[in-house]
Amino acid sequence: MTLPREASKSTEALRALDGWHEREHAAIMASETLTPAAKQKLVAELNALYRERWLIASDAAKRDLEEWTEIYESRAASALAPKMPQDKDARVLKALELQRLAGRIEMHKEQPGRLLADYENAVRTGNDVIAHELEDALPALLPEDARAEFAHRAKENRFARMSEEDRKTVEEREAWKRQADATGLAIALQHAARQRGYTPVQPSPTTLIEHHQPGRPVQVDEVPNPRWRDPAQDGPVNEPVGGTIVPDPGSAA
């Protein structure tokens, strides 16, 4: 489902940072005026700055995911909450009914069967507020072997009582949690890769290598990059392979 705010938006700054690093790295390697040693120095500085900025951006992305998780949770909680009457007098009466229910729950906490009967009656008569209150209270009072079945029924009843808009809000919360979990895992994996030295660069026509000789300074050379492939040499992706195209014999008049 399409969410009002997708989790991928939290990582926009990270993707922009990767693009910036790729462009800067390509510009350094394409320079015809820099020496190989100068290129190596600039690439090392670029990588250090990239990692520093990436850590800041990843922390911001994780905070953004947390903030939006709170927003979706708050929206879902409001959607799941029972709707009190709009009329003032009706709200007062409902509040008194809730007070009486609290006393009844305390009185019959050792006899949850009575409260279960109250719940069935509330569901049957459409008393959403009382049903919601008992759905919260009964799981802790019922025998352990009956809790799972009641929780399943209570969840179905709550969804049945909700408006279409409220159900959509809860479904959006669930979809967001899946997106946020996947995005958070992706950030963690990317962070681990960058700690190992990964940088998001595409292979360039040349690469830098070091030569170490005893008693001499390290020499940096720029050599052809065996990993680079000239895109100009790639043929069209839909180019036919093999065979000869001839007129259709059936088309001859």
Average pLDDT score over residue span 165-169: 93
DSSP bridge partners of 210? 220
Between 187 and 248, where is the model more confident? 187
Same domain for 87 and 154, yes or no, is yes
Residue 107 included in any domain: yes
- Express each pLDDT in 118-135 by its tens digit: 988 888 988 888 888 898
- Express each pLDDT in 11-62 by its tens digit: 999 999 999 999 999 999 999 999 999 999 999 999 999 999 999 999 999 9
Residue 245 included in any domain: no
Q: Where does the pLDDT of residue 218 fall: very low under 50, low under 70, confident under 90, or very high at 90 and above?
A: confident
DSSP assignment letter at 34: S
Whole-angstrom distance, CA of residue 80 vs CA of residue 6: 22
Residue 233 included in any domain: no
Residue 37 included in any domain: yes
Same domain for 124 and 154, yes or no, is yes
Residue 50 included in any domain: yes
Same domain for 177 and 56, yes or no, is yes
Question: 37-59: buried (b, 16+ CB within 10 Å) or exposed (e) per residue?
Answer: bebbebbeebbeebbeebeebbe
Average pLDDT score over residue span 221-227: 79
Average pLDDT score over residue span 190-216: 85
Domain span at 189: 7-78+172-226
Residue 248 included in any domain: no
Q: What is the pLDDT of residue 244?
A: 46
Q: What is the pLDDT of residue 253?
A: 46
Global pTM reads: 0.70
